[in-house]
Amino acid sequence: MFSNKRYAVFTALWVSLFCATVALFSASYQEAYAATEEETQADVLSIGGSVTEIVYALDQGHRLVARDTTSTWPAEANKLPNVGYMRSLSPEGVLSVGPQMILSEEGAGPKETIDVLKAADVTFIEVPSGFDAPAIAQKIKVVGQALGVPSKAEALAREVTAALDIAAAQADAAGGPRKRVMFILSARGGKLMVAGQNTSADAIIRMAGGVNAVQGFEGYKPLTDEAAATAAPDTVLMMARGGDHSIAANELFALPALSLTPAAQSQSLITMNGLLMLGFGPRTAQAVTELNIALYGK
């Protein structure tokens, strides 16, 4: 039998241990509950297709409250409210969805709208652009840091970089003469708008083992009929489009600017999903492989 004094001490110790256990359990439960609340809260607006892809690739799609027009993949993104095209946003449209954080791909606009958003009571994070593996990795890390999942971002960045290295190596191993590729952004009215250097189109062509047939300028610019004939592309690359924006190969190569080119003679037209091809997000290795196969058939 315990003496009264020893019993009292034992009881006090037991009560203390019990209280400490309850307190620890309660704190753990509250932390887990808070984390669950944070995970399920939809408070992020994503602007830019590649940024939205990264958010989903990091398993943070449940955080999104809205997206822009360019954010079309994965399919779940299309169920979100749409605030408009990333280069012609309005402050009212963006703020109407009530975001607490805006993840915006570099280049969104107009500048006046971005200035208003940066001055608003909203966290605004600009995600840097770029057209190579380090740039994609940096995009992923910036998004991951903003969303509070830096470890996931590091792992995804390594995975994407490794896949892109493999895809680029396979493209380089194709051998044979490099195909001259002309990327046409628009052929409206028979006038060609094409990609020069320092563009995502130029980068994906080179990564897939091709050569940009258009040289001498940067960005996207109109090309004269004479310059198009001189460029002499072996193939034309365009974004896959539907409706009024689509154009058949025979219609395209009937244009005076292209009718005498090697591409017209072989009717060589490659179309790809625009976001996959030009987004430079987590699926870029897939885009490189698909374009390389379309160019060289291997």
| Integer Cα distance of 156 and 140 in angstroms | 7
Closest by Cα among 185, 182, 174 to 269 = 182
pLDDT exceeds 50 at position 27: no
**pLDDT level of residue 241 (50, 70, 90 thresholds):** confident
Interval 89-103 mean pLDDT: 97
Q: Counting beta carbons within 10 angstroms of the beta carbon of residue 174, is it exposed (0 to 12), middle (13 to 18) or buried (19 or more)?
A: middle
Q: Can you list the domains of the chain with their CATH numbers?
A: 44-170 (3.40.50.1980), 174-296 (3.40.50.1980)
91 cis-preceded (ω within 30 degrees of 0): no
Query: Which residues have C-beta within 8 Å of that of residue 267, sequence separation ≥ 6?
Result: 249, 250, 253
Calculate what percentage of the chain has a pLDDT beyond 90: 79
Query: Which residues have C-beta within 8 Å of that of residue 116, sequence separation ≥ 6?
Result: 91
Report pLDDT digits (tens) over 243-293.
556 788 999 999 999 999 999 999 999 999 999 999 999 999 999 999 999
**pLDDT level of residue 14 (50, 70, 90 thresholds):** very low
| Integer Cα distance of 196 and 217 in angstroms | 5
- Lateral strand order in the sheet of 64-67: 64-67, 44-47, 101-105, 123-127
pTM of the model: 0.84
Q: Taking a C-beta distance cutoff of 8 angstroms, is the pair 95, 120 a contact?
A: yes
